[in-house]
Amino acid sequence: MAGQVKTLRLILGDQLNYQHSWFKQEQKNLLYVFMEMRQETDYVLHHIQKIVGFFRSMRNFAEYLRKREHEVIYLKINDLRNQQILSKNLSWLISEYKIEKFEYQLPDEFRLDKQLKDFCKGLSIVSEAYDTEHFFTSREDLAKFYEGKKQMTMEYFYREMRKKHEILLVNEKDPEGGKWNFDKTNRKKWMGKPEIPHERGFRKDISETLQEIRKAEIKSFGNIDAGKYNWPTSREDSLSVLNYFCKNLLVHFGDFQDAMHISEAYLFHSRLSFALNTKMLSPKEVIDSVIGHWRENQDQIDISQVEGFVRQILGWREYMRGIYWKEMPGYKQANKLSNQNKLPEFYWNANTKMNCLKHSIKQSLDNAYAHHIQRLMITGNYALLTQTHPDEVDAWYLGIYIDAIEWVEITNTRGMSQFADGGLVATKPYVSSGAYINKMSNYCKGCVYDVKKKTGENSCPFNSLYWNFLNTKREYFQNNRRMAMMLKMLDKKSNQELSKIKERDHSIISNPQNF
Ligand SMILES: Cc1cc2nc3c(=O)[nH]c(=O)nc-3n(C[C@H](O)[C@H](O)[C@H](O)COP(=O)(O)OP(=O)(O)OC[C@H]3O[C@@H](n4cnc5c(N)ncnc54)[C@H](O)[C@@H]3O)c2cc1C
Ligand code: SF4
């Protein structure tokens, strides 16, 4: 039983579950360890706000445990005892503290899972892995659900989850509101109204943590205002973001979920992904709070807003986790469209004339955040249309966003956005010409390019890229029913038109710095 022998318990940076049963047990002979390590800060180039966010959240959680009389050892990044590699630190701790048993929670990343399994194989003491007690599903549930079925679609998995967990259900089997999915009503453009409440920011002074990161000479990118750090870094902060979302943003969440705007980085999005992915909040409590708030305010909030939100967390988030564990490690090499190009330099500095990309990238560099449609239909769309190698696309997404942890980043990027898995996550590639971007945003109004022009000097680059992409990759989509209409339209283009498209496309892909 835990606590009888001297036990070391590891808590990783994304395992900050304040409600885990570990902390409810008798705490005799238990030593908790947190480590800030170069192996974690350096495996990809991270946004500076992301590094600060993880360090601050880990420190706050360690402090919380100490205050409750748990024994905690915390290795900060510049601690002289810190060997910066998980296995080395663990070996040292086991010997230094005469540890008799090692315990950890199952990591969400394949990389860390393997590292810990390998480490435990070489141990002469007993080790045990525990569930993180965070997700609705286990690692294997999705694979079991789709066993023997021809096609995987998120929708059926989502319905099953609704039934299993009795969420938005009537008569134990039917969807509340008469429909499982209100997605069709969630596609409004935001034109300045309704007013968007100011985001729930914290404006914290994080200069001390920043100085420590600078002293350690950790490489990073992106912008930060050391006196006004805005992300939640404790359970209290996280609950307050959740509360703020329910009271102020939920009412229009679904309606404007796909909208984009030059001056509104967040619109009605919750900004809960960092608190969720670090486990400071559980998906169940987020869903319960949102539904609870809606039940008390049904006269003001439509079910479509609530269902749209629940689907993201109960559906997409759990689905992506299932795909990750079903498909890894092979998923990391998937490049079914054989894309080989480099990611343009402007992804790292926002230095482009294309207004949609300029704003989406600038907001990402400033906030370590972009909402789903910016990630999918602006930066992701452009990377796919320009046939960028998925490794390059993954590295950018994994680094830039505060919520980017491989299990949810790679499935969204390589899968949903880049179609590199050949259609496992997305049933058709998420690509569009400028028309979609113009429909959902105000980017095109202030752009030097003409969204209506198909080819030629100042034509919107997305237009020629779109048709050239379909033309170049058509063999991959030939049997995809959802692409049939677009391929038919492509067939109607004359040779002359296609050669103009090709010419424009060639100059965009080979000289991205000029656009
Ligand atoms: C190319 C690409 C890369 C992405 N990378 C990540 C990533 O690294 N980490 C990450 O958490 N999300 C990622 N997403 C999904 C989604 O964009 C973010 O979860 C969302 O933008 C976070 O902002 P929010 O909390 O304001 O979300 P909201 O729009 O308020 O949505 C609420 C919550 O739903 C969940 N959610 C919504 N969509 C998804 C999805 N597709 N997959 C999983 N969960 C979802 C998130 O937990 C989110 O906090 C990515 C999407 C794309 C297209
Ligand atoms: S015109 Fe084209 S490049 Fe410019 S903002 Fe619109 S979609 Fe983007």
Distance, CA 267 to ligand 1 centroid (Å)? 14
Q: Which atom of ligand 2 is nearest to the CA of 460?
A: 2
User: Percent of the chain scored above 90 by pLDDT?
Assistant: 91
List where CATH 3.40.50.620 sits in the chain. 2-130
Report pLDDT for 151: 79
Amino acid in position 177 = G
What average pLDDT does this structure show over 377-381?
98
What is residue 185's predicted lDDT score, i.e. its pLDDT?
74
Element (H, E) at 74: strand 71-75
What is the SS3 assignment for 389?
coil
The yes-or-no verdict on residue 328 having pLDDT over 90 is yes
494-514: string of b/e by CB count within 10 Å (b at 16+)?
A: eeeeeebbbebbeebbeebee
Range in 118-132, 186-200, 243-257, 406-420 the model is least confident about: 186-200
Ligand 1 midpoint to CA 271 (Å): 9
Task: Flag whether pLDDT at 9 surpasses 80.
Answer: yes
Whether 179 is in the pocket of ligand 1, judged by its Cβ within 6 Å, is no
pLDDT at 52 over 50: yes
pLDDT more than 70, % of the chain? 99
Question: How would residue 184 be classed by pLDDT, with cut points 50, 70 and 90?
Answer: confident
Lowest-confidence pick of 78-87, 136-145, 282-291: 136-145
Output the pLDDT for position 201.
81
Q: What residue ranges of the chain are covered by domains with CATH 1.25.40.80?
A: 141-327
Provide the pairing of β-strand 174-175 with 169-170: antiparallel
Domain 141-327 of CATH type 1.25.40.80: yes
The dihedrals phi and psi of 126, each to the nearest 5 degrees, come to -75, 145
Residue 259: which pLDDT band, with cuts at 50, 70 and 90?
very high
Which residues, judged by CB distance below 6 Å to any ligand atom, belong to the binding site of ligand 2?
354-356, 434, 437-438, 443-444, 447, 449, 451, 460-462
**For 130, what's the count of Cα atoms within 13 Å in the CB-facing half-sphere?**
18
Nearest in space to 160 (alpha carbons), one of 322, 347, 355, 47: 322
Would you state the pLDDT for residue 147? 86
Half-sphere exposure in the Cβ direction for 260 (13 Å, CA): 29
32's tokens:
């908790």
Residue 150: the pLDDT is 76
- In this predicted structure, what is the pLDDT of residue 407? 98
- Residue-wise pLDDT for 118-135, tens only, equals 999 999 999 999 999 999
- Dist CA 75 CA 72 (whole Å): 10
The model's pTM: 0.97
How high does pLDDT run on average in the chain? 95
Residue to mutate (ligand 2; options 451, 463, 466, 467; most atoms within 8 A of CB): 451
SS3 401: coil
| Domain 2-130, architecture per CATH | 3-Layer(aba) Sandwich (3.40)
Stretch 388-393: mean pLDDT: 98
Measured between its terminal Cα atoms, the distance across the chain in Å is 63
Confidence of residue 1 (pLDDT cuts 50, 70, 90): very low
**Which pLDDT score, from 0 to 100, does residue 447 have?**
97
Nearest to 447 by CA among 354, 357, 360: 354
Which of 3.40.50.1360, 3.40.50.2000, 3.40.50.2300, 1.10.579.10 is the CATH number of 335-514?
A: 1.10.579.10
DSSP assignments along 274-328, one per residue: HHHHTTSS-HHHHHHHHHHHHHHTTTTS-HHHHHHHHIIIIIIIHHHHHHHHHHT
**pLDDT value of residue 323:** 95
Distance (angstroms) between ligand 2 centre and the Cα of 359 equals: 11
Tell me the CA–centroid distance for residue 163 and ligand 1, in Å.
23
CATH 1.10.579.10 domain span(s) along the chain: 335-514
Question: In the predicted model, is pLDDT for residue 395 greater than 80?
Answer: yes
Please report the pLDDT score of residue 3 as a whole number.
Answer: 47
Cα 459 to middle of ligand 2, angstroms = 9
pLDDT grade for 200, boundaries at 50, 70 and 90? confident
Q: For ligand 2, atom 8, name the residue with the nearest CA.
A: 356
pLDDT band at 4 (very low <50, low <70, confident <90, very high): confident
The pLDDT value recorded for residue 27 is 84
The per-residue pLDDT for 496 is: 93
